[in-house]
Structure 1
Amino acid sequence: MSDQTRPDIGFGRIATTLPVKDIERARRFYVDMLGFTKTFENGTPVGFMILKQGPAELHLTLQPNHKPAPFNVAHMMVRDVDAFHARCKREGLRIVKGLQDKEYGLRAFVFEDPEGNRIDVGAAL
């Protein structure tokens, strides 16, 4: 499709949806440890939830048979990647890739949340 025939869609928000086996455990992690606020939930029992922290938005979906992917499923940009990395270590989270400066201008690391979802975290150098 050429630029001439491609529609001007005007994208807005795009949010990452993380599958979780235990939505309450995931909520506690993202709210209590990372400071997100729950802004929406749906279902009885709850099967979907929206969490926000500043401009960041994260969706959780209950998937009882969830098996974590062996690759990064989300990327977070933060102001202080060193402080976030230290907190992840203090909380005993699995660090998949250690903190390092990347040739593409980020200082980054990868951790697993309590549900096994791999999250890539970075800050501009």
Structure 2
Amino acid sequence: MTEKTIPLLPCRTELLQAVVDFYAALGFETTHLQKSPYAYAVVERGAVEIQLYGLKDYDPSTSHASCYVLTEDVDGLYAVFRSGLKARYGRIPTRGLPRIGPLKDMSYGVRQFLATDPTGNTIRVGQTIDDDSPEDPADAAPKDVFASALHMADLFADSKQDFPGAARIIDRALNLKDEQPTPLQRLRLLVLRGDLAQRLGDAEGARGWLEAAETVQLTAGEEALARDALARLEELRG
């Protein structure tokens, strides 16, 4: 017998059509949609199925609902999702609701991105890149102070959606007097800090962090390792 788990995610009733349209932009097919006697929808993309149920007073800004999609081609899905969102909204939404986050390698052996629908549900899409990494992200924290800061800031930003907390972690690391990050670490810290400033509505601060990131000098080898951060920098500066 084959079992299958299907996530049931909440949706503010009046946003059901907008949420269905969002998933359509990602390549999902709407296989069921009803608005009475209660709001309910089912969207499917290949083997991935998501069911959505309506709640009249649901507040998307407080949502912590999410599910994880494992794939063997996270880069391919990321490109398809971004293309679909741009076609749907005329731009790639990176802030507010809906939005799609950056694609990046996590220190716990996963390459992933997050997509959040108009009602606040976050779909995490990832691909395992290191089978030897700990299953618990907290166990994967690097020992190096700056690598650890990046690791923890990523967790605070993506897993907890605690942008102020993530910003404080980076600020402490960058303000250390007796230790300095490598150029690659500095670039990643500055780009993430600028990203966080934008998410917190601090446009002027974001501009300063991102301008500082643009001044970091990298070797050719470091540029290859920094491809995700450089792509995010270009997107944020655009």
TM-score (normalised: structure 1): 0.71
Q: Which amino acid aligns with 1:26?
A: V
Conserved in 2, the CA contact under 8 Å of 1:74 and 1:120? Answer: yes
CA-to-aligned-CA distance 1:53-100 (integer Å, 9 cap, x gap): 111000011112112345451112244433544516852143686432
- The structure-2 alpha-carbon separation of the partners of 1:11 and 1:67, relative to structure 1 and needing over 3 Å to count, comes to farther
Which residue number corresponds to residue 112 of structure 1? Answer: 116
Deviation at 1:14, TM superposition (A): 1.3
Q: Which moved more, 1:52-61 or 1:92-101?
A: 92-101
* 2:65–2:120 Cα contact (<8 Å) kept: no
Runs of at least 5 residues in structure 2 that lack an aligned partner in the other structure: 130-238
64 and 113 in structure 1: CA distance in 2 versus 1, 3 angstrom threshold: same
- Larger displacement relative to structure 2 (41-50 or 12-21): 41-50
1:62 aligned counterpart, secondary structure: strand
Higher mean C-alpha deviation, range 52-61 or range 10-19: 10-19
Select the structure of larger CA radius of gyration: 2
1:25 partnered with 2:4: no
1:37 matched to 2:24? The reply is no
Cα distance in 1, alignment partners of residues 34 and 69 from structure 2: 25
CA–CA separation in structure 2 for the residues paired with 1:11 and 1:67: 36
- Higher strand proportion: 1
Q: 1:46 to 1:93 in 2, by over 3 A?
A: farther
- The correspondence of residues 1-125 of structure 1 with structure 2, limited to 5 A, is 12-21=3-12, 22-31=15-24, 33-44=25-36, 47-68=39-60, 69=62, 71=64, 73-85=66-78, 87=82, 90-94=91-95, 98-125=102-129
Distance in 1, Cα, partners of 2:53 & 2:41 = 7
Q: How many residues end up aligned between the 2 structures? A: 115
Percent of pairs with identical residues: 30
Query: Matched residues in 2 for 1:108 and 1:35: separation?
Result: 18
Root-mean-square deviation (CA, aligned residues, Å) is 2.8
Secondary structure at the aligned position of 1:119 is classed as strand
Task: With the length of structure 2 as denominator, give the TM-score of the two structures.
Answer: 0.41
Alpha-carbon spacing, 1:26–1:114, altered in 2? closer, same or farther (3 Å) = same
**Partner Cα separation in structure 2 for residue 102 and residue 30 of structure 1:** 25
For residues 107 and 96 of structure 1, the distance between their equivalents in structure 2, rounded to whole angstroms, comes to 15
Task: Write 1 or 2 for the structure with the bigger share of helix.
Answer: 2
Q: Is the 8 A contact 1:97 1:109 kept in 2?
A: yes
Structure number with the bigger relative contact order (C-alpha 8 A, sep ≥ 6) is 1
